[in-house]
Amino acid sequence: MKISIFGMGYVGCVSAACLASAQHSVIGVDVSEAKIALLNQGISPVTEEQLPEKMANAVTRGYLQATRDARAAIHTTDLSLITVGTPARDDGSLELAYMIQVIQEIAQALRDKTSPHTIVIRSTVPPGTTERLLIPQLTAQSGRTLNQDLLVCYNPEFLREGSSIKDFYNPPFTILGTEHDDTFQQVAQLYTDVRGAVLPCSIQAAEAMKTLCNVFHALKIAFANEAAAVLHGCGANAMEAIDLFLRDEKLNISRAYLKPGFAFGGSCLPKDVGAMIHLGQSHGVATPLLSGIRVSNDAHLERALAIIQRQNVRKIALIGIAFKPGTDDLRDSPALNLAARLLAEGYELRIFDPIVRIQNLIGANALHMQRHLPDLGDYLDDHLDRVLNHGAVWVIAHAEPGVYQQILAYTPKAPLIDLSGQFARDAGQFSYTGLCWMPTP
Ligand SMILES: NC(=O)c1ccc[n+]([C@@H]2O[C@H](COP(=O)([O-])OP(=O)(O)OC[C@H]3O[C@@H](n4cnc5c(N)ncnc54)[C@H](O)[C@@H]3O)[C@@H](O)[C@H]2O)c1
């Protein structure tokens, strides 16, 4: 392919060298004359393992050259990668000025080019940027039509400085944000010698991916450091404990607990989060991350409440009151807390949970109910039909499989607020609101 790459920093240089090694014809474009001069001598302006040899080889063999001339680069290539910087502003937002400038340069150059052109955006941008900002500018200023003579794909970059050439060939996956099949097929051609799955997705999901991954990596580092500091503070061998922790690939290093749903609760998680924070405090170890867990969990409950309040109805059917399905444990149940808040605000609540029987509650479980919602029995009804019939809105904290089927079959249907994501796949059957997700397509 004939490829132009706009922005010859770390991402641009590594991409250029690797694509040129695969015998694509590559033109690097940058605003820095100094970088252009170095690149045309086969010298990499950035330092990365294996990059000098790859770059020199590509230039010597005629597969890579560099220019300041955006127009010439667009007119002599079929596909452009955009890898300009999107640095952080003081308020944490990303600076998109370089991105907008390069989009304008490309759009201008496309005006008097006749053949189709493909734009692959690799710089990190907030979700929505490509569709709301960049594509409208590209089409308006180039006079082209998306998915006809202009193809656009958002393709996040996962390289890490220090091992970027290895990462280029071994990414966790290749994400191609486009719902246009021809665009997907064409951009996938760039990565025929790259390992891992090539996954199509919406542009917004692809844009979210890099930030999501980096934030999770940062969260993991902060967790490991803060947890180790607490353990070390109380005299435990933190490395030994964390090494053991990492051996659990069933619940710790796994997909478990990483799907969005309702707030957590129960007798273990809140208690042990509190216990670790207390341990930190008693040994003089600050625990801002661990302390934030409760704050985040409470904010999630407030989100649910706000969605219900926005419905402007008084009669609510709440399905699921235990802290999760399959148990009658009410301790620290977010659904119980939500019910108490709704009742305090004067909502007419009916609750169904096939497992919870007031007369069977005992010990700490009964005590918790007494403290937080002593008259729960007045609102619980063991007839699902009656509860659904009562609700002008159905709020589903969780539903056992049988209950799920009954809700699907019940008519007439009320608007459904899904707090756990269970109904996302069947959302089309309801007037559906997910707690913080859209229906599954
Ligand atoms: N560095 C990484 O490890 C890494 C990894 C993944 C993703 N990213 C993302 O990729 C993007 C690029 O990162 P980077 O570290 O390579 O940036 P960088 O700052 O090293 O390089 C950006 C380059 O773009 C050039 N540029 C600016 N305006 C231009 C224009 N109008 N035309 C042509 N060139 C222009 C600059 O001169 C510079 O050489 C960022 O959004 C970054 O967040 C970076």
Query: Do 167 and 307 share a structural domain?
Result: no
Helix (H) / strand (E) element for 28: namely strand 25-29
Cα–Cα distance, 123 to 313 (Å, whole number):
45
Tokens at 393, concatenated: 């809105």
Domain extent at residue 324: 298-434
Nearest to 107 by CA among 134, 138, 135, 79: 138
Q: How far is CA 234 from the centre of its chain?
A: 35
- For residue 105, give both structure tokens: 């340069």
For residue 10, give the ligand 1 atom closest to its CA: 16
Is residue 410 one of the residues assigned to a domain? yes
Residue 218 lies in a domain: no
How far, in Å, is the centroid of ligand 1 from the Cα of 96?
11
For ligand 1, mutation pick of 10, 93, 119, 123 (most atoms within 8 Å of CB): 10
| Ligand 1 atom index nearest CA of 156 | 7
Q: Does 415 map to a domain?
A: yes
Q: Is residue 371 part of a domain?
A: yes
Longest dimension (CA), the chain: 83
Nearest CA to ligand 1 atom 33: 30
Burial of 411 (0-12, 13-18, 19+ CB in 10 A): exposed
Nearest atom in ligand 1 to the alpha carbon of residue 105 is 31
Give the pLDDT of residue 284: 97
> Does 307 lie in the same domain as 158?
no
Contact 421, 437 (CB under 8 A): yes
> Ligand 1 mean position to 366 CA, how many Å?
59
Dist CA 58 CA 55 (whole Å): 5
What CA–CA distances, in Å, run from 259 to 262, 305, 401, 436? 10, 20, 19, 11
> CA 191 to CA 227: how far, in whole Å?
39
From 14, 15, 36, 83, the mutation candidate for ligand 1 (largest count of ligand atoms within 8 A of CB) is 83
pLDDT of residue 441: 77
- CA–centroid distance, 6 to ligand 1, in Å, is 9
| Domain boundary pick from 183, 201, 219 | 201
Query: For 166-171, which contacts have Cβ atoms below 8 Å and span 24 or more sequence positions?
Result: 166/49, 166/50, 168/14, 168/15, 168/18, 168/194, 169/18, 169/193, 169/194, 169/195, 170/194, 170/195, 170/196, 171/195, 171/196
Last residue of a domain, one of 149, 169, 201: 201
- Round to whole Å and give the CA distance between 251 and 246: 10
- Which one from 13, 18, 234, 268 is the annotated catalytic residue? 268
Three-state DSSP at 310 gives coil
* Nearest atom of ligand 1 to the alpha carbon of 13: 16
The reply to whether 192 and 313 lie within a common domain is no
Q: Rounded to 5, what percent of the chain is helix, strand, coil? A: 45, 15, 40
Interacting residues of 303 by C-beta distance below 8 A, sequence separation 6+: 435, 436
User: Do residues 122 and 83 touch, judged by C-beta distance below 8 A?
Assistant: yes
Ligand 1 first shell, C-beta below 6 A: 6-12, 29-32, 35, 83-86, 98, 101-102, 105, 123-124, 157, 159-161, 210
* Mutation pick for ligand 1 pocket among 30, 71, 166 (CB with most ligand atoms within 8 Å): 30
Q: Is residue 253 part of a domain?
A: no
**Residue 180 within a domain:** yes
Query: Which residue among 201, 227, 255 closes a domain?
Result: 201
Residue 224's Cβ-count burial label (10 Å; 0-12, 13-18, 19+) is: middle
| Co-location of 191 and 314 in the same domain | no
Q: What is the C-alpha to C-alpha distance for residues 73 and 3, in angstroms, rounded to an integer?
A: 8
Ligand 1 centroid distance, CA of 121 (Å): 11
8 and 124: one domain?
A: yes
Same domain for 116 and 10, yes or no, is yes
Q: How far is the CA of 30 from the centre of ligand 1 (A)?
A: 10
Instruction: Identify the three-state secondary structure at position 106.
Output: helix
Question: What are the tens digits of pLDDT across the range 158-205?
Answer: 999 999 999 999 999 999 999 999 999 999 999 999 999 999 999 999
Residues 190 and 303 in one domain: no
The reported pLDDT for the residue numbered 440 is: 85
Question: Do 340 and 197 fall within a single domain?
Answer: no
At residue 122, the 3 state secondary structure works out as coil
Tokens of 50: 């294996």
Read out DSSP for 344-405? HTT-EEEEE-SS--GGG--HHHHHHHHHH-TTHHHHB-S-HHHHHHH-SEEEES---HHHHH
Select from 116, 124, 123 the least CA-distant residue to 146.
Answer: 116
CATH number at residue 141: 3.40.50.720
Cis peptide before 334 (omega within 30 of 0): no
From the CB of residue 395, how many other CB atoms can be counted at a distance below 10 Å? 29
| Residues of the chain predicted below pLDDT 50 | none
Domain count across the chain = 2
Q: Which atom of ligand 1 is nearest to the CA of 160?
A: 3
The answer to whether the predicted template modeling score (pTM) of the entire model surpasses 0.85 is yes
Do 172 and 315 share a domain, yes or no?
A: no
pLDDT of residue 259: 96
Tokens in use for 221?
A: 């580092």
Q: Count Cβ atoms below 10 Å from residue 278 Cβ, excluding itself.
A: 12
11 Cα nearest atom in ligand 1? 16
Count of positions (residues) in the chain = 441
pLDDT the model gives residue 406: 97
- 211 within a domain of the structure (yes/no): no
How many angstroms is it from 87 CA to the middle of ligand 1? 8
Residues pairing with 175 in the sheet: 199
Shared domain for 39 and 174, answered yes or no, is yes
- Confirm whether 74 is domain-assigned: yes
**Residue located nearest, by CA, to atom 19 of ligand 1:** 85
Pocket test for ligand 1, best of 93, 94, 157 (most atoms within 8 A of CB): 157
Active site annotation includes 436: no
The strands making up 393-396's β-sheet, listed across from edge to edge, are: 348-352, 315-319, 393-396, 416-418, 432-434
Amino acid type, 176: L
pLDDT tens digit sequence for 84-99: 999 999 999 999 999 9
